[in-house]
A and B are shown apart, each in its own frame.
Chain A
Amino acid sequence: MTSAECVVVTGAAAVCPAPDDDFGAVVDPLPYLRVRKSRKYLAPQDDLATVAAGRALASAHLSPSALGARAGLAICVGFLSFDERDVDPVLRISVDSDGAFDMRRFISEGMRKTHPLLTFRCLPNMPAYHISANFDLRGPYLATYPGVAQSYDALERAMDLLLRSDSSVDVMLVAAVAHQRNFLVGKHFARIEDGPTMELLRDAAAVVVLERSSSAHARGQRVLARLTELSRAYEPFDPTEAPPPAHRELFCGQLRAEDRGCASLLCALSEHLTSGQSTAFVHEANTRDGHTLTSRWEVRP
């Protein structure tokens, strides 16, 4: 590797269904599943992540047969999502006459109402599993959580893995997925001072494909973008003692009302790249967990 070597974006895709879209119709992972019967294991966040990964790899002209042990994934997953139709029947039947949770009722009646694959739907590393298994990624990984600051962590780690002089990877997928328009995430944000309302929350996922510039050049792949600056600052705070700082995000200097959670950077970047624009992309954010973030991207360098 030469010192002039850099990491470039060779593929990108965002999946951001509108609130009134039919989620299942817009976000259909079936074409990407190696084993069709594995469909039952996918929760909505897995659907989003799998579809975004499939489209991003297609845009990078990479097939699973080209990936394997030298391809990895750094992924950020948002807050645990659950729909009211899954939670409420369990809750309703698992309380005593005063409305307090009753473990005996939960075991005898409530558990029957839980989804039999509940655990698979709760684990934050399941989107990583579905991407790795369906696209044959067997290299290194980072699985983190829950906001845009941690999506920067994923991005930085993927860059580091590709730029190491003894790098063992040629391709890194950087992914972020936030399934937010649901009962549990909505209730979580309702408890935060300036938390987004359900009207502003969006479901979103995005994946960008990173490679070394020499690899992209060698296989004749078009370069979509190059990261020119990434900075992350952090001011420690104790969330049990002080309310979180205010959240503010700018995309090329513009505020957006809608909230795409941890997928906000990668979605906006992917949309910018696939829209045909050639202007630089800049993302700046102050997050609820004390981070100040900036990234600048040169488009079609």
Chain B
Amino acid sequence: MTAKSPTAPHRVVVTGMGVVSPVGCTVPGFLLALLHGKSGVREVTRFATEGLSTRIAAEVRLEFAELERVELKTAFAIRAARDAMHQASAHGNAPGRDTPRDGKVSMGLGLELFSMDDLAQSRREGFVAPSDLRTRMRFMQTPSDVPVHVLSARYGLARPPSIHVSACAAGTDAIGDAMVAIREGRVRWALAGGSDSMINPLGFAGFCTLDAMTRRNDEPSRASRPFDLTRDGFVLGEGAAVLVLERLDDARARGATVLAEVLGYGRSFDAYAITEPHPQGHGALAAMRRALDDAGILPSDLSAINAHGTSTPKNDPAESAAIRELLGERAMDVPVVSTKSMIGHLISAAGAVEAVAAVACMNEGVIHPTINLHQRDPRCDLDYVENTARNLRQTHVMSCSYGFGGMNAALVLGHADRL
């Protein structure tokens, strides 16, 4: 195990995307909703919330056949992967057809939580192991490694899968990690993304106890308001996104349509505080700088930034400070958006869904708005594309995710026209 001799790295491209979100479960539908500034936030329908401080969330409209046999995280991942593979296979051979054993799954996944329903039933039955496998696997709301094995088996990806549990940064980490594996020649292609749902009794109540979520229950569609002075916490969302990543030369050889290039990935620890980011965003700044270094571009090359933008009192000014420091004199020239203003915070899936948003917008030559931004926090002094989408040609976009507990990740994505 010695140092690797320098070899020409492989360029890594996106050839398929699938998304399950509170505002749409196809990429075109998702993009259209974002461009129209549609909010997916409403009263929670899945369980009773009377008595909780927060009673709204961004739920996915549940219409999936998969839900009959697996729990939400797995069902979302299956649907997103199916659409990503469908798009990647629309022209030419399917990805990995000639190298099926050289693919891997890399997913950011939500934490397991014991399912109160299941635990109550299990307790009532004296904790006897149920005879059927699916019921057994539902215990603890399904161990979080299940989706990667399901996808690996379904699409024959036979390299060891990677499971990322870096909280809100996990989806971005999953894509970045898969990109590096392809670039360095360890795998040929990957299904990479994230899937999460914490809209369950224990997850939801836990965030209420932390007082981290908005209490703007009477106006759900206005509740997620990143960078606005009147923001009061995040809105919990759920969903998934999966991207097909592969070598550029493989994509060209099989005649695939390239959607974007994944150019760089950076990550860092804050090592600061458990409940809040560094007030000047030092960890976020380090992750963004490392992603730019990894991509071999300068801050001045960025066309736009898809921010973490949670709508919490502490994240938004810290993140804005980091971006301002990164961009310097160009700080007001680079649009910064928060997809979470419309779909809420998808936790471990957030980075992957927001990467899909960034690529979809880049390919349309538009940038989606940050909605509900009417009274900007004076500490948030960037161009946030307030409330209305904007035409914008983009060559390089950065997508950022910052996890609870100080884990920070950033991706640099490049327009396919550059290739």
Residues of A within 8 A of B (CB): 1-7, 38, 41, 69, 72-73, 77, 79-80, 82, 87, 91, 94-95, 98-101, 103-104, 106-108, 111, 114, 116, 118-120, 122-126, 128-129, 132-133, 136-147, 149-150, 152-153, 157, 159-160, 163-165, 168, 184, 187-188, 190-192, 212, 226-230, 232-243, 289-291
Q: How far is the CB of A244 from chain B (nearest CB, A)?
A: 9
- Report the bound CA distance from A133 to B74 in whole Å: 33
Residue of B nearest to A233 (CB): B160
Given A79-B140, A101-B120, A168-B290, the answer on whether A289 and B1 have CB atoms closer than 8 Å is: no
Given A91-B123, A238-B154, the answer on whether A114 and B1 have CB atoms closer than 8 Å is: no
Given A128-B407, A188-B143, A239-B149, the answer on whether A120 and B274 have CB atoms closer than 8 Å is: yes
Q: Is the CB of A144 within 8 A of B163?
A: yes
Inter-chain pairs besides A3-B2, A99-B121, 11 sampled, C-beta below 8 Å:
A6-B3, A69-B286, A80-B140, A132-B270, A137-B271, A138-B269, A138-B283, A139-B269, A141-B268, A142-B166, A142-B173
Interface residues of B toward A: which range? Answer: 35 or more
Q: What chain A residues lie within 8 Å of B164 (beta carbons)?
A: 142-144
Q: Is the CB of B403 within 8 A of A138?
A: no
- Report the bound CA distance from A111 to B51 in whole Å: 11
Q: Which of A122, A129, A153, A163 has the most CB of B within 10 A?
A: A129
27 contacts between A and B (CB under 8 A): A3-B3, A72-B269, A80-B111, A100-B121, A101-B117, A104-B50, A118-B206, A122-B206, A124-B111, A125-B166, A129-B407, A133-B406, A136-B271, A137-B271, A139-B269, A142-B173, A145-B163, A146-B144, A147-B145, A150-B163, A153-B162, A212-B3, A230-B1, A236-B149, A238-B154, A240-B70, A242-B133
- Report the bound CA distance from A137 to B405 in whole Å: 13
- Contact residues, B1-20 vs A (CB, 8 A): 1-6
Q: List 10 A-B pairs, minimum CB-CB distance, nearest first.
A: A129-B405, A99-B124, A236-B152, A101-B120, A132-B269, A5-B3, A124-B165, A236-B153, A238-B153, A107-B51
Q: Is the CB of B161 within 8 A of A141?
A: no
Q: Is the CB of A149 within 8 A of B407?
A: no
- B375 proximal to A (CB < 8 A): no
Q: Is the CB of A160 within 8 A of B184?
A: yes
- Report the bound CA distance from A212 to B133 in whole Å: 46
Q: How far is the CB of B265 from chain A (nearest CB, A)?
A: 9
- B65 proximal to A (CB < 8 A): no
- Report the bound CA distance from A163 to B180 in whole Å: 14
Q: Is the CB of A125 within 8 A of B122?
A: no
Given A118-B209, A168-B290, A236-B152, the answer on whether A125 and B407 have CB atoms closer than 8 Å is: yes
Q: How far is the CB of A169 from chain B (nearest CB, A)?
A: 11
Given A133-B273, A191-B136, the answer on whether A226 and B1 have CB atoms closer than 8 Å is: yes
Q: Is the CB of A243 within 8 A of B133?
A: yes
Q: What chain A residues lie within 8 Å of B2 (beta carbons)?
A: 3-6, 163
- Report the bound CA distance from A142 to B133 in whole Å: 31
- Report the bound CA distance from A4 to B145 in whole Å: 37
Q: What chain A residues lie within 8 Å of B209 (beta carbons)?
A: 111, 114, 116, 118-119
Q: Is the CB of B166 within 8 A of A139?
A: no
Q: Is the CB of A119 within 8 A of B210?
A: yes
Q: What chain B residues lie within 8 Å of A114 (beta carbons)?
A: 205-206, 209
Q: Is the CB of B1 within 8 A of A141?
A: no
Given A184-B140, A188-B140, the answer on whether A236 and B116 have CB atoms closer than 8 Å is: no
Q: What chain B residues lie within 8 Å of A142 (beta carbons)?
A: 164, 166, 173, 177
Residue of A nearest to B145 (CB): A146
How would residues 383 to 419 of chain B score, 1 for a CB under 8 Å from any chain A CB and 0 otherwise? 0000000000000000000011111000000000000
The residue that A190 contacts in the complex, of B127, B149, B166, B270, with Cβ under 8 A, is B127
- B146 proximal to A (CB < 8 A): yes
Q: What chain A residues lie within 8 Å of B127 (beta carbons)?
A: 187, 190
- B380 proximal to A (CB < 8 A): no
Given A4-B2, A111-B209, A119-B210, the answer on whether A140 and B267 have CB atoms closer than 8 Å is: yes
Q: Is the CB of A137 within 8 A of B137?
A: no
- Report the bound CA distance from A242 to B134 in whole Å: 9
- Contact residues, B74-110 vs A (CB, 8 A): 74, 109
Q: What chain A residues lie within 8 Å of B137 (beta carbons)?
A: 239-240
- Report the bound CA distance from A120 to B143 in whole Å: 18
The residue that A103 contacts in the complex, of B201, B207, B270, B283, with Cβ under 8 A, is B201
Q: What chain B residues lie within 8 Å of A187 (beta carbons)?
A: 122, 127, 139
Q: What chain B residues lie within 8 Å of A164 (beta carbons)?
A: 4
Given A129-B274, A236-B157, the answer on whether A80 and B165 have CB atoms closer than 8 Å is: no
Q: What chain A residues lie within 8 Å of B140 (beta carbons)?
A: 79-80, 184, 188
- B156 proximal to A (CB < 8 A): yes
- Report the bound CA distance from A229 to B1 in whole Å: 7
Given A79-B112, A104-B50, A138-B283, the answer on whether A119 and B166 have CB atoms closer than 8 Å is: no
Q: What chain B residues lie within 8 Å of A290 (beta carbons)?
A: 149
How would residues 314 to 344 of chain B score, 1 for a CB under 8 Å from any chain A CB and 0 otherwise? 0000000000000000000000000000000
- B350 proximal to A (CB < 8 A): no
- Report the bound CA distance from A192 to B129 in whole Å: 8
Q: How far is the CB of B55 from chain A (nearest CB, A)?
A: 10
Q: Which of A69, A116, A123 has the most CB of B within 10 A?
A: A123
Q: What chain A residues lie within 8 Å of B406 (beta carbons)?
A: 129, 132-133
Q: Is the CB of B165 within 8 A of A145?
A: yes
Given A80-B140, A146-B144, the answer on whether A133 and B272 have CB atoms closer than 8 Å is: yes
Q: Which of A79, A104, A125, A138 has the most CB of B within 10 A?
A: A125
- Report the bound CA distance from A5 to B209 in whole Å: 50
- B297 proximal to A (CB < 8 A): no
Q: Is the CB of A100 within 8 A of B6?
A: no
- Report the bound CA distance from A38 to B207 in whole Å: 19
Given A184-B114, A234-B160, A243-B133, the answer on whether A146 and B1 have CB atoms closer than 8 Å is: no
